[in-house]
């Protein structure tokens, strides 16, 4: 049995290599995979005191960095009680197997040869680590945005899940969200350095990825937030509107930390997301979730509007819907921790009051 007693992780992730052939939904065989993960707290003797956090599109496994509010004293996470785990997604570029990894078939980075993957593939990939760590039950799984898609599929696939929290996500990727993803990918494809995804690491498609990020950042906030944050102010250095300067800066930041091929494959995985795929109707599928589920929407979310979370709550039998009131749009799931913790604590006490 793997001993994780007293294991506290810093921001640098563990890398676990699973030496077995693993096959994606599309039929692609990985002879082995690397899985990057962070954890906080100690896994108990029964290996069932686990809180699993699922990260979003360009996130990483250091959840304490981007989900910090859940680790505050008023949050639900208690490292003295819980073993908190966050796993970097398949296809990402933060340690897990992805387009920047070396292909055992060619001896070179996969780049555009990295296969298309699905949210279900990401769940299967993460389950490899859960199995490796011999985890018997997951007390709570939580995810927002893409992380919510992963948590939702986990609830359908993995019987170890005991309760679920879904924030700012939906039962499938809507035509609206697919269109936004498509526009971002087109920006990357149009970059002169794209080279069909086989670009020189020293000449990355930085303009395309920056433009894609700028477009995404607009959908992550709300008109009222942009009005109050920027107005029509002019940046004194660039002599452009402050909002233009902000979006350019965000694009430059992403170029320094993310890979364009990862962005392509992960947005495609989000577009494929549809819990009813090969399962029947949405109602037939979602009524199979028999564990408690807290579903949280954001009143100003343009990317995944609250009607999508209300749909989930109407279809999942033992579910509770709560709404965050915020001007921050979709990004509120990474900002409004006071409201999130209030809803999480209430849900947690209701479900685990005997613990």
Residue 55 and residue 91 in contact, taking contact as beta carbons nearer than 8 Å: no
Among 145, 181, 210, 300, the active-site one is 145
Convert 219-287 into a string of H (helix), E (strand) and C (coil): HHCCHHHHHHHCCCCECCCCCCEHHHHHHHHHHHHHHHHCCHHHHHHHHHHHHHCECCCCCCCHHHHHC
Residues contacting 35, CB < 8 A, separation 6+? 15, 16, 17, 18, 87, 88, 95, 96, 97, 125, 126, 128, 129, 132
Residue 117 and residue 146 in contact, taking contact as beta carbons nearer than 8 Å: no
Is 80 among the catalytic positions? no
Q: How far apart are CA 320 and CA 198, in angstroms?
A: 46
Q: How far apart are CA 285 and CA 276, in angstroms?
A: 6
Q: How far apart are CA 2 and CA 131, in angstroms?
A: 11
Is 330 among the catalytic positions? yes
Task: Report the SS3 class of residue 350.
Answer: helix
Residue 204 and residue 255 in contact, taking contact as beta carbons nearer than 8 Å: yes
SS3 content of the chain, % helix, strand, coil (to 5): 40, 15, 45
From residue 194, give the alpha-carbon distance in Å to each of 122, 212, 237, 270, 281: 26, 13, 30, 22, 39
Per the structure block, which two tokens stand in for 125?
A: 């990939």
Among 82, 330, 331, 343, the active-site one is 330
Is 331 among the catalytic positions? no
Task: Report the SS3 class of residue 129.
Answer: helix
Among 121, 259, 271, 301, the active-site one is 301
Catalytic residue numbers? 145, 301, 330
């Amino acid at each position: 049995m793997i001993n994780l007693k007293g294991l506290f992780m810093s921001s640098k992730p563990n890398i676990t290599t699973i030496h077995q052939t693993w096959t994606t939904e599309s039929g692609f065989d990985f002879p082995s995979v690397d899985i990057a993960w962070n954890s906080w707290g100690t896994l108990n003797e029964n290996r069932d005191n686990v809180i699993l956090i699922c990260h979003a599109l360009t996130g990483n496994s250091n959840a304490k960095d981007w989900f910090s509010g859940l680790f505050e004293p008023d949050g639900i996470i208690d490292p003295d009680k819980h073993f908190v785990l966050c796993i970097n997604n398949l296809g990402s570029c933060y340690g897990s197997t992805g387009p920047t990894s070396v292909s055992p078939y060619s001896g070179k980075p996969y780049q555009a040869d990295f296969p298309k993957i699905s949210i279900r593939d990401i769940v299967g990939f993460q389950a490899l680590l859960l199995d490796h760590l011999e985890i018997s039950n997951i007390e709570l799984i939580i995810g927002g945005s893409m992380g919510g898609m992963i948590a939702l599929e986990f609830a359908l696939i993995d019987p170890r899940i005991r309760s679920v929290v879904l924030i700012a996500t939906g039962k499938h990727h809507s035509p609206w969200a697919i269109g936004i993803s498509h526009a971002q990918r087109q920006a990357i494809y149009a970059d002169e350095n794209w080279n069909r995804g086989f670009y020189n690491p020293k000449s990355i498609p930085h303009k395309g990825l920056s433009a894609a990020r700028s477009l995404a950042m607009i959908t992550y906030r709300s008109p009222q937030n942009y009005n109050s944050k920027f107005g029509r102010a002019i940046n004194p250095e660039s002599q452009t509107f402050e909002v233009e300067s902000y979006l350019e800066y965000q694009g430059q930041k992403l170029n320094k930390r993310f890979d364009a091929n990862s962005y392509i494959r992960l947005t495609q995985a989000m577009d494929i997301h549809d819990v009813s795929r090969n399962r029947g109707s949405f109602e037939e599928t979602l009524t199979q979730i028999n564990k408690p589920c807290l579903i949280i929407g954001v009143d100003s979310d343009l990317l995944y509007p609250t009607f999508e979370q209300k749909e989930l709550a109407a279809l999942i039998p033992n579910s509770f819907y709560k709404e965050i009131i915020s001007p921050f749009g979709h990004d509120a799931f990474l900002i409004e921790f006071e409201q999130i913790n209030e809803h999480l604590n209430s849900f947690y006490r209701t479900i685990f009051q005997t613990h």
